[in-house]
Structure 1
Amino acid sequence: MRRRATPFSLIILGLGVFLLVLAPLLAWYVEPRAQRTPVDIDTTTVFTGTGSYFDTDEIETVHDKKITITRQVRGDVSDSEKSGRAVWDVSTSVDTDRSLPAADPHDSLQWTMERWVTDRKTNEPVHCCEEKPYFEGEAYLKFPFDVQKRSYIWWDNTLGSTVTLAYKGTKRVQGYEGLRFTGTVPATKTGTRLVPGTLVGVPDAGQVLAEEWYSNHGVELVADQRTGRIIYAAIGPRKTLRAPGGEKDAVVLLDSERIAFTPETQREQVDLADTDSGLLRLVGRTLPLGAAIAGFVLAVVGAVLVTRGRSHPDTPESSQQPLTM
């Protein structure tokens, strides 16, 4: 009798070997390449809170008013594809109830436009593609993928410099757990502005270059650990004017103890983080584990079948014994 492997057993064995090779490939090759900052992003986040701001109509600071910050981030797909980087255009407006809804962002209390360019893998700033302003640090708008439980250097666009945010444990946002980071900004001179001297306590002067000062009562960010997406953000900005060389604030331009993501923005960011994190988990953990288990089982079954084969009777020619005299 002779044994011969069947096509079915060879297919089972081959499929098992293929899955065993595929499993580490998904975990070590495919997932890292899936961890890339998107270039076709188009999201809007809204912060609200109460505070004080300088009313240009009243020519004085008004208090206990609602303040809304709207940030829109759009990816420049064309420039991103040309450069191989993530090129995002960021529009940020600060509004009062009087300027909302703003048909033109120029009507806002404050409006800025930025271009943020980063390495799609590391999230580090890349200085190209008409970046504006010059960014530094490890994170801005989002954290890197696979956020670590440590301090991060965060870019503060109002400060025009970086801030250290310390890891402060975990926090649940809309039922979804993220890593919490906090920090503050001490009062810092950020520039100058030409204003009437009477505004900053220098009545004898006509126009003076008043000093702009900025501080932050507290920054709190909660990030999805796998994707780095921010699911909750709260800030406490304070912007003031001082007389040239002055040591005290003369005018409060903007001041709020806390302006935070609205519940709607929290839900939207959590949904996006949950979806993106789930896809990365599928590619990096679920599929590799499933492929490894299935591959092992199929390889064992296939090997057994190939070893056993099927029994075949010998041919008449091979079964004949030579004649002896």
Structure 2
Amino acid sequence: MRRSRLPDRPPVVPTAAARTAPTARTAPPLALALLGAGVFLLVLAPLLAWYVTPRAAVTPVDVDVTTVFTGTGSYFDTGALATRDRQRITVTRHVLGDVAASERSGRAVWDVSTTVDTPRTLPLADPRRAFEWTTGRWVTDRRSNAPVHCCGERPTRFDGDAYLKFPFAVQKKTYRWWDDTLGAAVPLRFAGTVQLSGITGYRFAGTVPATRTGTRQVPGRLVGRPGQGQIQAEQWYANTGISLVVEERTGRIVDASISPVTTLRAPGARRDAVVLLRARGLAFTPATRRAQVDLARADGARLVLVGRTLPVTAGAAGGVLAVAGGLLVARGGRRDGRRGGRLRWRGIGR
């Protein structure tokens, strides 16, 4: 018996529609999340460096800081009408920020109290009984550190580039430092770099030549005029050595030394008649130096974190996440095209 033979099947070819039909492309949620996070971090990095950092470098307003200078010198004892030599001199400066006034004005408003004490007056709690006591209200722009004449500042002639602190990002140049005793700004030149307790500081130095700063009523005999009763003697001030070490990022003064000299002269005289105060090398106490270094280190760390560490980390992490997310998106799309697409075939038979 003869078995019938099936005809040969014609070759099977895909239709044009099957060849040109688009395949669906979908990306895994993880890939999209990685890509989105990477783009976000890449945008965040320059914002931190160029927008946030300049606004983080502002003078604080909630300050409550006490700095103490000590050294040896001479002072005039008004009780004995004699000069006391080789005495311990202590200068204490207390700075208290007026937060309410600062927030209203947008400025840094600081109230400053400075006392000069001798061994006799130092134990007294009342600053009015100190050898010398001065107060002031200093107002500055929080970003530039420039003086601002508002908010009841004292003195009203307050001027210069640097005061209780220097501007941020200190440069190796001459700054005009406000000397409150002189009542004017003093040029301080850059005098080298100093390493202090692990931080880098710039040293600035200068002097104040003998300058008349006012008058004081005293007995005439005190200034070589015994024939006169009370007399308006001339008060003169000099500073034979100012040395300030400033942390370069924050502008905070981390070490300081001053040598003030205050004298009296008879009206029109060219020589000093009485030495009211003469001190050499009044310097920060070790405790004050440590406290200032700690504050500078903390402030500097915040600036480095916002201005360098976070932008660099955000940029690097953003680049890695964006590349990883992009690769996963591309790979996920290709897999979907291979697995999910169907081809329609045209042919004869089953």
Q: TM-score range by the shorter chain?
A: over 0.9
Residue aligning to 1:321: 345
Q: How does 1:59-74 map to 2 (within 5 A)?
A: 59-74=81-96
- How many corresponding residue pairs? 323
Which among 167, 180, 185 is matched to residue 190 of structure 2?
167
CA distance in 1, matches of 2:280, 2:118: 16
CA distance in 2, matches of 1:321, 1:4: 25
Q: Report the CA distance shift for 1:175/1:299 in structure 2 as closer, same or farther (over 3 A).
A: closer
Q: Does 1:288 align with 2:314?
A: no
Residue aligning to 2:201: 178
Check the 8 A contact 1:213/1:239 in 2, yes or no.
Answer: yes
Secondary structure of 1:255 counterpart:
strand
Q: Does 1:36 align with 2:62?
A: no
CA positional deviation for 1:4: 2.1
Q: Which amino acid aligns with 1:300?
A: V
Residue aligning to 1:115: 137
Check the 8 A contact 1:173/1:266 in 2, yes or no.
Answer: no
CA positional deviation for 1:303: 1.0
CA distance in 2, matches of 1:175, 1:66: 30
Check the 8 A contact 1:20/1:292 in 2, yes or no.
Answer: yes
CA distance in 1, matches of 2:271, 2:197: 41
Residue aligning to 1:306: 329
RMSD (CA atoms) = 1.4
**CA deviation vs aligned residue, 1:1-20 (integer Å, no higher than 9, x gap):** 65421111111011001000
Secondary structure of 1:184 counterpart:
strand
CA distance in 1, matches of 2:133, 2:24: 84
Residue aligning to 2:73: 51
Which among 122, 138, 149 is matched to residue 100 of structure 1?
122
Check the 8 A contact 1:118/1:124 in 2, yes or no.
Answer: yes
Q: Which moved more, 1:247-256 or 1:101-110?
A: 101-110
Q: Report the CA distance shift for 1:324/1:122 in structure 2 as closer, same or farther (over 3 A).
A: farther
Q: Does 1:125 align with 2:151?
A: no
Secondary structure of 1:216 counterpart:
strand
**CA deviation vs aligned residue, 1:136-192 (integer Å, no higher than 9, x gap):** 001100000110111101110000001000001111233432010000000000001
Which among 144, 163, 173 is matched to residue 150 of structure 1?
173
Residue segments in structure 2 that go unaligned for 5+ positions in a row? 1-22
Secondary structure of 1:319 counterpart:
coil
**CA deviation vs aligned residue, 1:32-72 (integer Å, no higher than 9, x gap):** 11111000000000000000001111111110000000000
**CA deviation vs aligned residue, 1:246-271 (integer Å, no higher than 9, x gap):** 00000000001210000110000000
CA distance in 2, matches of 1:305, 1:174: 49
Check the 8 A contact 1:93/1:109 in 2, yes or no.
Answer: yes
Q: Does 1:8 align with 2:8?
A: no
Q: Report the CA distance shift for 1:35/1:56 in structure 2 as closer, same or farther (over 3 A).
A: same
Q: Which TM-score applies when normalising by structure 2?
A: 0.90
Q: Which amino acid aligns with 1:306?
A: V
Residue segments in structure 1 that go unaligned for 5+ positions in a row? none
Check the 8 A contact 1:52/1:64 in 2, yes or no.
Answer: yes
Q: How does 1:265-280 map to 2 (within 5 A)?
A: 265-280=288-303
Check the 8 A contact 1:174/1:266 in 2, yes or no.
Answer: no
Q: Percent identity?
A: 60
Residue aligning to 2:220: 197
CA distance in 2, matches of 1:4, 1:322: 29
Secondary structure of 1:74 counterpart:
strand
CA distance in 1, matches of 2:285, 2:295: 16
CA distance in 1, matches of 2:223, 2:129: 24
CA distance in 2, matches of 1:113, 1:102: 18
Q: Does 1:88 align with 2:113?
A: no
Q: Which TM-score applies when normalising by structure 1?
A: 0.97
Secondary structure of 2:161 counterpart:
coil
Which among 225, 230, 237 is matched to residue 253 of structure 2?
230
Q: Report the CA distance shift for 1:324/1:190 in structure 2 as closer, same or farther (over 3 A).
A: farther
CA distance in 2, matches of 1:178, 1:253: 33
Q: Report the CA distance shift for 1:257/1:211 in structure 2 as closer, same or farther (over 3 A).
A: same
Residue aligning to 2:12: none
Secondary structure of 1:257 counterpart:
strand
